Amino acid sequence: MLIEHHGKGGCDAESNVLKFAIKDAITQGLMLDPETRELCLYMAEHKPQPSVAKANKSGWEAPENYYYGYFDTRLFTKAAIPDAEGFKDCRKHNYFMGMSKDPDKAERDGPLRVKKLFDACDACLLGKFDECCMQSEVGKMVRQPLGAKAKGGVLSRSQMLRLEDFADALDKGWLTAVDVDASEQKLEGVYWLARLTGPAFTVPEDLVHGGQEYRDGWLVAPGQWYILRQKSERGYELLTPIVWIVVNHMIRLKGLEFRGSQSGPQGRVLRPHTTGPCGEMRTSGSGLSFLDEEVHNEILLACEAADLEAEEGDDQS
């Protein structure tokens, strides 16, 4: 990084463009559900250029136009991208480019080209780094033959294979994800969340509970459903009715937890006067619990694996 910037780059302040644009859009009611892709489209339409033209600014860092790109976060989970071991002085570089078209070779050998700062001159955008016209400002692109080697793509949680083992482990307080039928996926997506209020048990006979039919021998667990109140970040409110949840419909992931909640880990009473789309819920003291994007993507990955397993079972039968 440039010493005179004290570790900061010329583009660091550009994050404020998004910050204030989102705040303004929500205040005006133009973007009530700021999901990543929707945000990208909104910014491209409403903020394509800086408020002050580049011609009226000094310094090479001053942007002329803004370009926005959307990347599906499911492509960046720990399952898709493994942790890596860094190389000497890797923290001093902010521009990395892979040099291998073979994914296996890239993860094993990790050859890279690195530079202290990113620049978007015509030569660098074409990969002609030796012809960079801004080397005096951003440094020279150098080869890093060892690069960053993958440690391995081990998931933070593993899906249990046996239904019985999963049912035995279920207990009060567990957060579980439940696979949802295609006819009901319009509500919240391919899964719902529930907080268990007790361990799993076997239904003793055919019966009706809470308006739902249950068959003799089914494994179920008592719990409370969460309802999705906001999509970005995913905020859930816990519902009060106790229901029976069929264990066979659960995604068999251990250790699911929310990232945090509006009431905090102490369960403190929230302020009675508040504003925003979730103000009405907060006045009742319920608050929202927030699901981390990494956990959300891991559940989606497990849902896909469960569906594939079910399809293979149908084919074999």
Going by C-alpha positions, the residue among 284, 288, 239 that lies closest to residue 263 is 288
Q: Which tens digit of pLDDT belongs to each residue from 239-260? A: 999 999 999 999 988 889 998 7
Could you read off the pLDDT of 112-163 as tens digits, one per residue?
A: 888 887 777 888 888 888 888 888 878 888 887 766 666 654 444 445 557 7
* Segments making up each domain of the chain, as ranges: 1-70, 82-154, 163-316
Token pair of 187 as six digits: 């509500």
The C-alpha atoms of residue 172 and residue 68 are separated, in whole angstroms, by 44
pTM of the model: 0.59
- Give the model confidence (pLDDT) of 5-29 as tens digits: 444 455 555 667 777 877 787 777 7
User: Is it the case that residue 92 has pLDDT exceeding 90?
Assistant: no
10 φ/ψ sector (left φ>0, alpha ψ -120 to 50, else beta): alpha
Cis, peptide link before residue 233, omega less than 30° from 0: yes
User: Could you give the CA distance from residue 117 to residue 60 in angstroms, rounded to a whole number?
Assistant: 13
Q: Please tell me which residue, 211 or 317, carries the higher pLDDT value.
A: 211
Pick the more confident residue, 123 or 226: 226
Categorize the per-residue pLDDT at 86 as very low, low, confident or very high, splitting at 50, 70 and 90.
Answer: confident
